[in-house]
Amino acid sequence: MLSRSTTNAVAYRASSMRRMRRRAAQATRLYCSTNGCTSFLLVDETAGVARCEICGYTRRLH
Ligand SMILES: [Zn+2]
């Protein structure tokens, strides 16, 4: 059984990862709009692409 502190640490790490991901999406604000898709693209800076998790559309950043 997990101790309370271990559970809190895991929850904190998960929430901070979500925060980072959300901030990255807001910084770029790339809208998918492929075939009427209404989601934002997730930017992968190391690969140099932005990808839509919903429809799978991939756009080159440079
Ligand atoms: Zn899409």
Structure confidence by residue, pLDDT tens digits, 35-58: 899 999 998 889 999 999 999 999
Structure confidence by residue, pLDDT tens digits, 6-41: 777 888 887 777 766 655 545 557 888 888 999 999
**What is the rounded CA–CA span in Å between residue 53 and residue 38?**
11
Q: How far is the CA of 5 from the centre of ligand 1 (A)?
A: 39
- Mean pLDDT, rounded, of the chain: 80
Q: How far is the CA of 54 from the centre of ligand 1 (A)?
A: 5
Task: Return residues with CB closer than 5 A to ligand 1 (ion).
Answer: 32, 34, 37, 52, 54-55, 57
DSSP secondary structure code for residue 55 in this structure? T
Tokens 């800076």 label which residue? 45
Nearest to residue 25, comparing CAs of 42, 39, 38? 42
